[in-house]
């Protein structure tokens, strides 16, 4: 089966958006960057019911790449996905990427999603994305590995290093895959 519905999943800072965009470029599948749908300007979260509705409409389609799935949506995203691309990178790699991106954003004030910018205050707050990395790392990693080990559900490719993902992208990401 050639996958037309792909979920890119990984820990915070693993490079899900970059991977999703690369997959979309190689396959021609439309890419949805989830942060664009979940954050309003000023880092105000979109209401959960609105998020669920919008994501539900996207995954009801026949062709898509999502760069993440929040836990609340997994119940309707995962059954529709034909392939999960799991970025199961070591903590040091994902954390260093996240810190570098966050600090760089605070310095350059380059807009991220919906015009939002990183700030030193947010970086050091209780709601910091870096703090979230530590809170969610083990749970997300266990989830990916459980999906890969399960005979049920969509095909799962776990990549342990960006070189593995790059090699797969250099082949044909729409080729049939095996767990």
* pLDDT confidence of residue 139: 93
* pLDDT confidence of residue 44: 84
Pairwise pLDDT comparison (158 vs 73), residue with the higher score? 158
The domain limits of the chain are: 5-92+138-170
Range 90-97 average pLDDT? 90
* pLDDT confidence of residue 92: 94
pTM score, whole prediction: 0.87
* pLDDT confidence of residue 176: 44
Considering the four listed CATH numbers 3.40.50.620, 3.40.50.300, 1.20.1630.10, 3.30.70.100, the one that applies to the domain covering 5-92+138-170 is 3.40.50.300
Lowest mean pLDDT among 37-41, 90-94, 124-128, 166-170: 124-128
* pLDDT confidence of residue 106: 78
* pLDDT confidence of residue 173: 54
The confidence band for 68, taking pLDDT boundaries of 50, 70 and 90, is confident
Give the percent of the chain with pLDDT over 70.
95
The tokens describing 67, both together, are 């760069």
* pLDDT confidence of residue 2: 77
The confidence band for 60, taking pLDDT boundaries of 50, 70 and 90, is very high
CA distances from 142 to 10, 44, 82, 120 (A): 10, 29, 20, 31
Pairwise pLDDT comparison (52 vs 72), residue with the higher score? 52
CA distance linking residue 113 with residue 43, whole number of Å: 9
- Is pLDDT at 178 greater than 70 in this prediction? no
Pairwise pLDDT comparison (85 vs 117), residue with the higher score? 85
Asked if residue 165 lies in contact with residue 159, where contact means CB atoms within 8 angstroms, the answer is yes
CA distance linking residue 23 with residue 71, whole number of Å: 22
* pLDDT confidence of residue 174: 54
């Amino acid at each position: 089966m050639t996958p037309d519905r792909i979920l890119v999943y990984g820990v915070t800072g693993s490079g899900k958006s970059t991977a999703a965009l690369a997959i979309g470029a190689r396959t021609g599948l439309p890419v949805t960057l989830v942060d664009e749908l979940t954050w309003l300007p000023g880092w105000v979260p979109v209401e959960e019911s609105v998020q669920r509705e919008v994501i539900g409409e996207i995954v009801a389609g026949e062709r898509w790449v999502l760069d993440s799935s929040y836990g609340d949506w997994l119940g309707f995203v995962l059954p529709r996905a034909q392939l999960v691309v799991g970025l199961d990178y070591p903590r040091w790699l994902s954390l260093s990427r996240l810190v570098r991106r966050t600090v760089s954003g605070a310095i350059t004030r380059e807009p991220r999603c919906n015009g939002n910018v990183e700030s030193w205050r947010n970086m050091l707050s209780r709601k910091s994305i870096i703090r979230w990395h530590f809170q969610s790392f083990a749970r997300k990693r266990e989830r990916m590995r459980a999906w890969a080990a399960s005979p049920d559900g969509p095909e799962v490719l776990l990549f342990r290093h960006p070189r593995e993902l790059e090699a797969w992208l250099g082949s044909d990401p729409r080729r049939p895959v095996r767990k």
